Structure 1
Amino acid sequence: HTFNELQMKQVQIVMTADRKPQEIQLLEDRLKSRFLGGMMVDIGLPDYEMRVAILKQKAAELGTEVGEGAFDLMANNFSSNARELEGTFVRLATMASIEGGILTSDMVQKTMGLPASTVQSIKVRPLKVISTVAKYFDYKNKDLLGSSRKADLVQARHIAMFLLRDSLGIQLEKVGELMGGRDHTTVMHAVEKVECEMKENTDIRRKVLAVKQALYT
């Protein structure tokens, strides 16, 4: 087999998949065990801070002048992968270049089809995130901050943590404080869980996007 030959020659092998080796049904068990013996890295969706960094780097590469608030607006309203984010920015940068001006928040809002109120509502307070999630799932704020392990409440709590971290860029420790004094590792687990589920579960993705849209309207 090609894999055996490369391994015997101590060649570095890099493989990608949308799930873990043990979750690939048609993969032979002996290959699963070999793949599990290597280093596995979960490359999730870029968070808010990473999205801003990607956009700024792309702007520097293209020499695009970006107006105040435009980076935040794009980063807050784009939750797909880095390649699509870059593609969207290139399209916006091209439009700005044709019009002979800078890339403004208004241009981003119109091109991405965002509600007009989004431009004025970029800065969202943490309490609004918690309240919006609670309202969407028909709970009260104190329920999200409490200790109940009811399944749908836990899901709502995880989504709130994810949005506080992903959309507002709040540090894990601070998110834990806001969510009832939880440990930063608990927050990290919640964020990673939502990121993972958004890739494979359309229902979770729909809920997250619905809450996010409600935040900016």
Structure 2
Amino acid sequence: MILSPAELQWVTERMKIYDIKYQESYFEILDHVLTAIETKRDKGDARDISVVFQDVVDTDFGGYSGIEALAVKQENIFNKYVGGAFKTIFRGYLNWGVLAFTIVASGLAYTLPNNKVIHSVFFIAIFLLAFSPLMYAFVLISRKVTSVKGKKSLLKGRLISQTYLPGMLLNGIIYLPVLFQGGDDTNGFKMMQHWPLPALMVILIFFAVLNLSSITLCNQVLKKRG
């Protein structure tokens, strides 16, 4: 039995008392609650919507704490899905073809002029590969995900976090040697300018794979979301 507009509005407003941070979890749990209420009405339960709502929450969802625990569970499931999907995509790109290409490209890097210009070109390319997935995700999500007032987007937050991973790794590659050897932050860039070109080629290809994996993940997750 379909609820009346007034009843739908009441349930929607009532659900806001629960501490559900993310809009995706909020709408999914709201849908479950509405379905359970409609099922009771189909069975002849004509009590006031407030009574039926509380009965459903207590019986089917374990009360206030049960609703919030379900929200956390859904968040964990989504985070696990995104993390697992990224690992699968990343492993798919790490094949023998990529390994062979990396070996050949690293060998060819020996033939390049070992000067500051070439090092700068490598660094700029690595930087773009590391941070462009974050920008790609931000633009794509901004176009396709509508935010709800008072709620965060789990999808947006998780994808932004995941696509920032290459940038975090690049920061680690640049600055970790500084922590062991001492010096200010600029030393990380200075040290990178003296890295062998074959090593920079390997790093470049690695970040190219991370880049492709991150962008593929964004497209896959948003396509599944519909």
What's the TM-score once normalised by structure 1's chain length? 0.30
| Bigger helix share | 2
Higher relative contact order, structure no. (Cα contacts within 8 Å, ≥ 6 residues apart): 2
Q: Provide TM-score, normalisation by structure 2.
A: 0.29
Q: State the structure with more CA Rg.
A: 2
